[in-house]
């Protein structure tokens, strides 16, 4: 068995692979639009399968489209060590969010293959389906099914804004696999990801050793008023749904600020009907995203949201419907895996800092059923979910190297 300190990923090959997959859904501004279960998602999935099979991996797909590429180990009775993330993007996504975690894992496995390094346990790369939640809410849907948070039928029934269902689209692109979701076990799961925030860059640290993920809750609200002619209806007699929604947007911002600096909150999606210039809006649909590391604080924020809806919208002579559609509690990652990441970072010689993830990731759900942790690398300006998202050649290479080091450290401890 070659000594682990001699195993170095191929930085140029990793970068070239990232740029190659960026062509699946490339946008004019240099980003990617590759929504889950579209034809472009199918193309990048086919590409991923072919690359993994080319160096001897066996690729399996489960009933919600999660992909698992396995390289055998010396003791295949051991549960595999998993690495991975997701290949779907936001409508105006960047080249690195999720993608780096899958392709960094691919590069790590290629390095093991070309050096002939035999691990104790099998190693798997995972591509989780619908992490982003931009087409089918909620986010992290298929890793949630894998972890028992959602049922397959719940996932199949999720619809996009055009009324197409997750189940039908999964079948259409040919990735509704035979394997029962969650039927396989992991001895560990490592997820490499860009930070999606500005901390590492600001502190000039290369690696974020992630301790856990903050709690997240999503809500959907429909405000109903009355459509009316803007020229013929007096102001005092209007039931303007958009005015009520606008007041709520401002109140949601205030709720988050009341619990700053750790709390965040936003309205990210609004649909105004009938959206005509001379019609008083009769219905507005909007979403709310609240996040905080403490679930008890999220409880308080939720109470304030519901009280504000009742106060503000009733006063504006409006009715409304509200529902919480997603609740991802705060997560603490496995100390033994965090220790492996720390060892892998030190071995590679990079500066690091401990941190909590502000964004949601598949690792948050997988942590319910397997020891899990994450590795962060910087992104320019902390910008993500944006075509301008940028992570450097060296940062991508550093993340993949620490990923490989951490996996090998954990595998050594298994042996």
Phi, psi of 173 (to 5 degrees): -85, 0
pLDDT at 4: 45
pTM of the model: 0.84
Please choose, from the candidates 137, 174, 205, the residue with its C-alpha nearest in 3D space to the C-alpha of residue 378. 205
pLDDT of residue 1 exceeding 50? no
pLDDT at 328: 86
Phi, psi of 244 (to 5 degrees): -60, -40
pLDDT of residue 3 exceeding 90? no
Spatial contact of 385 and 268, defined as CB atoms under 8 Å apart: no
Question: Could you please report the per-residue DSSP string of 10-76?
Answer: -HHHHHHHHHHHTTTTB-TTS-B---TTSHHHHHHHHHHHHHHHHTT-EEEEBTT--EEEEE--S-T
pLDDT of residue 136 exceeding 60? yes
Residues 286-319 have pLDDT tens digits of: 999 999 999 999 999 999 999 999 999 999 999 9
Question: Could you please report the per-residue DSSP string of 279-305?
Answer: EE--EEEEEEEEEES-HHHHHHHHHHH
Residues 11-69 have pLDDT tens digits of: 999 999 999 999 999 999 999 999 999 999 999 999 999 999 999 999 999 999 999 99
Percent with pLDDT over 70 in the chain: 99
Q: Which two tokens stand for residue 238?
A: 């209007």
- What is the average pLDDT score of the chain? 96
Name the residue with higher pLDDT: 143 or 328: 143
> Which domains are seen in the chain, by residue range?
4-214+330-414 (3.40.630.10), 215-328 (3.30.70.360)
pLDDT of residue 283 exceeding 50? yes
pLDDT at 415: 78
d(CA 169, CA 363) in angstroms, rounded, equals: 24
Give strand pairing partners of 58.
70
pLDDT of residue 349 exceeding 90? yes
Provide the 3-class DSSP secondary structure of residue 245: helix
pLDDT at 2: 39
Model confidence at 6, in pLDDT bands (50, 70, 90)? confident
DSSP state of 144: H
d(CA 57, CA 71) in angstroms, rounded, equals: 5
pLDDT at 359: 87
Residues 94-123 have pLDDT tens digits of: 999 999 999 999 999 999 999 999 999 999
pLDDT of residue 135 exceeding 50? yes
pLDDT of residue 411 exceeding 50? yes
Residues 203-241 have pLDDT tens digits of: 999 999 999 999 999 999 999 999 999 999 999 999 999
pLDDT at 255: 98
């Amino acid at each position: 068995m070659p000594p682990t300190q001699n195993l170095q990923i191929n930085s140029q090959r990793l970068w070239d692979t990232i740029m190659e997959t960026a062509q699946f859904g490339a946008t004019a501004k240099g980003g990617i639009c590759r929504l889950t279960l579209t034809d472009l998602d199918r193309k990048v999935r086919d590409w991923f399968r072919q690359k993994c099979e080319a160096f001897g991996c066996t690729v399996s797909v489960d009933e919600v489209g999660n992909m698992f590429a396995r390289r055998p180990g010396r003791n295949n009775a051991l549960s595999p060590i998993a690495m991975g993330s997701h290949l779907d993007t936001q409508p105006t996504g960047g080249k690195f969010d999720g993608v780096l975690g899958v392709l960094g894992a691919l590069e790590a496995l290629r390095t093991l293959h070309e050096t002939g390094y035999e691990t104790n346990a099998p190693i798997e790369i995972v591509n989780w389906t619908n992490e982003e939640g931009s087409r089918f809410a909620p986010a992290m849907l298929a890793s949630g099914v894998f972890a028992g948070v959602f049922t397959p039928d719940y996932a199949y029934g999720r619809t996009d804004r055009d009324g197409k269902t997750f189940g039908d689209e999964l079948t259409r692109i040919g990735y509704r696999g035979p394997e029962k979701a969650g039927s396989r076990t992991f001895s560990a799961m490592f997820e490499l990801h860009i930070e999606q925030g500005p901390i590492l860059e600001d502190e000039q640290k290369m690696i974020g050793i992630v301790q856990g993920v903050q709690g997240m809750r999503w809500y959907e609200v429909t405000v109903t008023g009355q459509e009316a002619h803007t020229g013929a209806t007096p102001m005092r007699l209007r039931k303007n749904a958009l005015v009520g929604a606008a007041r709520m947007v401002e109140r949601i911002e205030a709720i988050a600020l009341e619990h700053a600096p750790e709390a965040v909150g936003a309205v990210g999606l609004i649909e105004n009907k009938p959206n005509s210039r001379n019609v008083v809006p009769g219905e507005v649909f909007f979403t709310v995203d609240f996040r905080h590391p403490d679930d008890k604080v999220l409880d308080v924020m939720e109470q304030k949201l519901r009280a504000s809806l009742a106060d503000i919208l009733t006063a504006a002579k409006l009715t409304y419907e509200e529902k919480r559609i997603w609740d991802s509690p705060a997560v603490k990652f496995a100390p033994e895996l965090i220790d492996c990441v720390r060892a892998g970072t030190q071995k590679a010689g990079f500066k690091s800092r401990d941190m909590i993830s502000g964004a949601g990731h598949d690792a948050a759900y997988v942590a319910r059923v397997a020891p899990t942790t994450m590795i962060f690398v910087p992104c320019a300006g902390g910008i993500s979910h944006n075509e301008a998202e940028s992570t450097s050649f060296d940062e991508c290479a550093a993340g993949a190297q620490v990923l490989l080091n951490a996996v090998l450290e954990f595998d050594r401890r298994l042996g």
